[in-house]
Amino acid sequence: MTKITIVGAGLMGSATAYPLADNGHDVRLVGTHLDGEIIRECKGRRYHPRLKRLLPAGVIPYYIEELEQALEGAEIIVSGVNSHGVHWIGKTLAPYLKPGQMIIAVTKGLELNEQGVLTILPDVLRSELPEAIRQQVALAAIGGPCIAGELAGKRHSLVVFGSRDAQAVERLAATFRTSYYHIWTTTHLEALEYCAALKNAYTMGVGLAAGILENAGGKDSAEAGMHNLAAGLFGAATTEIDRLLQIAGLDRSFACGLPGAGDMYVTCVGGRTIRLGTLLGKGHSYREAREIMAGETLEGAQIVTVMSQALPRLVQQGMLGADELPFMRALIAIVVHGKAVHLPLEEFFGGAGRL
Amino acid sequence: MTKITIVGAGLMGSATAYPLADNGHDVRLVGTHLDGEIIRECKGRRYHPRLKRLLPAGVIPYYIEELEQALEGAEIIVSGVNSHGVHWIGKTLAPYLKPGQMIIAVTKGLELNEQGVLTILPDVLRSELPEAIRQQVALAAIGGPCIAGELAGKRHSLVVFGSRDAQAVERLAATFRTSYYHIWTTTHLEALEYCAALKNAYTMGVGLAAGILENAGGKDSAEAGMHNLAAGLFGAATTEIDRLLQIAGLDRSFACGLPGAGDMYVTCVGGRTIRLGTLLGKGHSYREAREIMAGETLEGAQIVTVMSQALPRLVQQGMLGADELPFMRALIAIVVHGKAVHLPLEEFFGGAGRL
């Protein structure tokens, strides 16, 4: 039995409690200052209002004010915050961390560091830790396709745990793995995190097709939709993720496996990322779409914004051609520069019509 | 203006008439002996009953008995038959072919040749031609995601034309390309055709998830479906396609671009291939599913059958490990050996839980 503390009681962090409880671990679920209402319901009728399920027996809910108590003796900490909370959770955990602990994050995103270099979120979190402990804890992350509600419902989910620490990641996988939570491990943490972040940006792009269809009056009299366009954009997305992995010197096989194509596929099934793309495709400016979706975390748009700063630097360094990644550039024009949707399809796949 | 004869008036062959007509070409549409009713309607009220659209102005419909006349002066022949018709169309065209003609096929599939080697359909077609003309005509094929009804509806479609003849494929692309029919070219014809065939087998596999969900009583009280499983299977599919391309010494980038992931995506949106998988996932034996879908071409199952013969040979030659491609092996057990659905998820992605 392992003591595990989940910090952040949102959908995905909380969902990890289900396989962990099934494995008989001692699981504590700590809400952030934004999760007060969730924890109140978890403490009261043991019901998680966002997952719409009872909490597994044995999982103990804590308010953020009870963090120190909740972390008592924890071997593993799950970071359940979203990309906006990464700095916060690093700072918040810092005083309590002990050598040998492992932190595994469900957060998907990328940031630019002070030198303008793309940085994966486990490294952002690590940068918030005091020097003394920074190399004493293992950092890991979860990638691959996983809708939280399905994991909590014990549906088969195929995911990837990544950490640069090969021993830690195996230990983590062994702790979380169940008959329905299928876990592969990798030490290619950066490739995993690039995919996890980029698929949100590109899924927003795939969503454009549904909006463009609405704008064109919907299906025509012979029931033709715009799945061909969506699928073309899907293929362009995985191709550009592949190229970005290559530029970063990372494992390209991730683009067409669970972390890339697999995760894109599940994200395209529905949810806020594809909805944002559809609003943009319909002709709403990013600013309008942002207002319509007020209160929702738009991670796809955040990644596009980060990439708008990263790409010029890559071009300047000679690592990327100025006309490469036309799909990402189209997304940047829409999200960052507030332009109308324009997809330069002829420039996709290397342009010039030749694969 | 180029003279083009489409042979086979099914959905995809007929759909190519729309961009061709838009480009002002002289287009003739010949029904096979199975398409008599379609041609009658095309000749009468100029309506294509399967596409549910009027035929473009200028496209001339012909019965199969009028083939010779329809082929008069044709520079390009479109083979619009399905995988069962490839031998037939080779034999049928043989007497009329002239040096310098180009044949481009919409057909997706793979066969085993007499030596048990996987053979792409353009090569099957070529094998039916007389020696004298065999090397005098260029053979090409169309891959990538394209629902026929959307192409006919002039929706944006991103596809790949492939031929070993670099000049011919450029000429073909220039003839077909319009503002909505976006064409990339490749001389990696085999890689393109492998993807086109394999995606049908694997899409059937992705469809299993929806059937397994139905069997489990559908969504649970918290609305959890089985998209995680479907997405995991999608990622396994593109990964196994990638591996099969590698084994065949082909261009692996196709697995995650338009021909692989892109085409899989559009095939997963709906249609007979995903429906067959869902029936199997629900617990129907392949034999039962076959009866339920009587009269429909089940290309996914045909490819699985071909692969059941190809894999042992690849293992014997030392090109493939005996435990590789567990997803394809699971599909073979279901389709060829009539077994109940069993997905050995732990063996996926190289097994042992390590990517």
Q: What would the pLDDT profile of A270-328 be if each residue is shown by its tens digit?
A: 899 999 999 999 999 999 999 999 999 899 999 999 999 999 999 999 999 999 999 99
- How far B132 CA lies from chain A's nearest CA (Å)? 31
Alpha-carbon torsion angle B105, B85, B30, A222, nearest 10: -80
- How far B349 CA lies from chain A's nearest CA (Å)? 8
pLDDT over 90 at A239, yes or no: yes
Q: What's the total number of domains in chain B?
A: 2
Nearest CA in chain A to B242: A256
Give per-residue pLDDT as tens, B140-193.
999 999 999 999 999 999 999 999 999 999 999 999 999 999 999 999 999 999
Residues 6 or more apart in contact with residue B218 via CB below 8 angstroms: none
Distance CA A245, CA A83 (A): 21
List chain A residues with CB under 8 Å of B234: 145, 261-262, 265
Give per-residue pLDDT as tens, B308-344.
999 999 999 999 999 999 999 999 999 999 999 999 9
Is the ipTM beyond the 0.85 threshold?
yes
User: Does B348 lie at the interface with A, CB-CB under 8 angstroms?
Assistant: yes
Selected catalytic residue, list A3, A43, A52, A199 = A199
- Clarify whether residues A37 and A16 are in a common domain: yes
pLDDT value at position A64? 98
- Clarify whether residues B179 and B274 are in a common domain: no
pLDDT over 70 at B40, yes or no: yes
B-contacting residues in A 252-311 (Cβ below 8 Å): 253, 255-263, 265-266, 268-269
User: Does B142 lie at the interface with A, CB-CB under 8 angstroms?
Assistant: no
Residue after which a domain boundary falls, among B164, B187, B210: B187
Contact present, B202 and B179 (Cβ < 8 Å): no
B-contacting residues in A 191-250 (Cβ below 8 Å): 220-232, 234-236, 238-239, 242
Residues 6 or more apart in contact with residue A95 via CB below 8 angstroms: none
Measured at the alpha carbon of residue B213, what is the angle toward residues B209 and B215, in degrees to the nearest 5?
Answer: 115
Q: Is residue B352 part of a domain?
A: no
pLDDT over 80 at A18, yes or no: yes
Average of per-residue pLDDT across B288-307: 95
- Clarify whether residues B117 and B239 are in a common domain: no
Distance CA A82, CA A105 (A): 9
Segment holding A196, helix H or strand E: helix A189-215
Q: Is residue B354 part of a domain?
A: no
- Clarify whether residues B141 and B278 are in a common domain: no
Residue A249 burial by CB count (10 A; 0-12/13-18/19+): exposed, middle or buried?
Answer: exposed
Query: Which domain range does residue A85 map to?
Result: 3-187
Radius of gyration (C-alpha) of chain A in whole angstroms: 21
- How far A180 CA lies from chain B's nearest CA (Å)? 10
Give per-residue pLDDT as tens, B53-72.
999 999 999 999 999 999 99
Radius of gyration (C-alpha) of chain B in whole angstroms: 21
pLDDT value at position B261? 97
pLDDT value at position B253? 87
Contact present, A177 and A152 (Cβ < 8 Å): no
- Beta-bridged to residue B76, according to DSSP, are B4, B102
* B271: CATH: 1.10.1040.10
- Beta-bridged to residue A162, according to DSSP, are A141, A186
Distance CA B264, CA B197 (A): 10
Residue A199 among the catalytic residues: yes
| Percent of chain B residues past pLDDT 70, beyond the cut | 99
pLDDT value at position A355? 66
pLDDT value at position B270? 87
| Percent of chain A residues past pLDDT 70, beyond the cut | 99
| Chain A interface test: which of B14, B256, B346, B347 (most A C-beta within 10 Å) | B256
By C-alpha distance, which of B68, B74, B76 is closest to B140?
A: B76
By C-alpha distance, which of A328, A341, A113, A122 is closest to A236?
A: A328
Contact check, Cβ <8 Å, A156/B229: yes
Segment holding A190, helix H or strand E: helix A189-215
- Clarify whether residues B142 and B290 are in a common domain: no
pLDDT over 80 at A171, yes or no: yes
Average pLDDT, chain A: 96
Give per-residue pLDDT as tens, B193-219.
999 999 999 999 999 999 999 999 999
Residue after which a domain boundary falls, among A148, A163, A187: A187
- Clarify whether residues A165 and A24 are in a common domain: yes
List chain A residues with CB under 8 Å of B348: 158, 182
Q: Is residue B324 part of a domain?
A: yes
Average of per-residue pLDDT across A79-96: 96
pLDDT value at position A251? 82
pLDDT confidence bin for B355, thresholds 50/70/90: low
Q: What is the DSSP letter of B236?
A: H
pLDDT confidence bin for A16, thresholds 50/70/90: very high
User: Does B141 lie at the interface with A, CB-CB under 8 angstroms?
Assistant: no
Measured at the alpha carbon of residue A275, what is the angle toward residues A271 and A281, in degrees to the nearest 5?
Answer: 155
Chains A and B form CB pairs within 8 A to the count of 238
Q: Is residue A319 part of a domain?
A: yes
pLDDT value at position A252? 79
| Percent of chain B residues past pLDDT 90, beyond the cut | 94
Contact check, Cβ <8 Å, B153/A220: yes
Contact present, A31 and A43 (Cβ < 8 Å): no
Helical residues (DSSP H) of chain B, grouped into ranges: 11-15, 17-22, 36-43, 67-71, 86-93, 121-127, 131-134, 148-152, 166-176, 189-215, 227-247, 263-268, 272-282, 286-292, 299-316, 326-335
pLDDT confidence bin for A354, thresholds 50/70/90: low
Contact present, A31 and A63 (Cβ < 8 Å): yes
Contact present, A56 and A29 (Cβ < 8 Å): no
Residue B95 burial by CB count (10 A; 0-12/13-18/19+): exposed, middle or buried?
Answer: exposed
Distance CA B75, CA B96 (A): 12
Residue after which a domain boundary falls, among B187, B219, B245: B187
**Residue B134 burial (CB count, 10 A):** 14
Residues 6 or more apart in contact with residue A39 via CB below 8 angstroms: A9, A29, A30, A31, A61, A62, A63
Contact present, B17 and B25 (Cβ < 8 Å): no
Give per-residue pLDDT as tens, B119-142.
999 999 999 999 999 999 999 999
Residue in the block written with tokens 């900490």? A77
- Clarify whether residues A311 and A178 are in a common domain: no
- Clarify whether residues A152 and A243 are in a common domain: no
Average of per-residue pLDDT across B1-20: 98
Distance CA B48, CA B50 (A): 6
pLDDT confidence bin for B275, thresholds 50/70/90: very high
By C-alpha distance, which of A134, A141, A151, A86 is closest to A302?
A: A86
Distance CA B201, CA B198 (A): 5
- Clarify whether residues A33 and A177 are in a common domain: yes
Q: Is residue A43 part of a domain?
A: yes
- Clarify whether residues B177 and B228 are in a common domain: no
Nearest CA in chain B to A270: B227
Q: Which pair of tokens denotes residue B341?
A: 């659905």
Q: Is residue A101 part of a domain?
A: yes
By C-alpha distance, which of A110, A45, A18 is closest to A308?
A: A110
pLDDT over 80 at B293, yes or no: yes
Give per-residue pLDDT as tens, B228-265.
999 999 999 999 999 999 998 888 789 999 999 999 99
Residue B315 burial by CB count (10 A; 0-12/13-18/19+): exposed, middle or buried?
Answer: middle
Average pLDDT, chain B: 96
CA distances from A13 to A105, A120, A191 (A): 8, 19, 22
* A171: CATH: 3.40.50.720
Strands (E), chain A: 3-7, 26-30, 47-48, 53-54, 60-62, 76-79, 102-105, 110-112, 118-120, 138-143, 157-163, 181-186
Helical residues (DSSP H) of B160-285, grouped into ranges: 166-176, 189-215, 227-247, 263-268, 272-282
Residues 6 or more apart in contact with residue B66 via CB below 8 angstroms: B30
Residue B329's SS3 state is helix
- Clarify whether residues A166 and A251 are in a common domain: no
pLDDT confidence bin for B298, thresholds 50/70/90: very high
Residues 6 or more apart in contact with residue B322 via CB below 8 angstroms: B315
Q: Which pair of tokens denotes residue A120?
A: 């994966």
CA B172, chain centre distance (Å): 19
- Clarify whether residues B172 and B253 are in a common domain: no
By C-alpha distance, which of B251, B245, B256 is closest to A252?
A: B256
pLDDT value at position A44? 97
pLDDT confidence bin for B352, thresholds 50/70/90: low
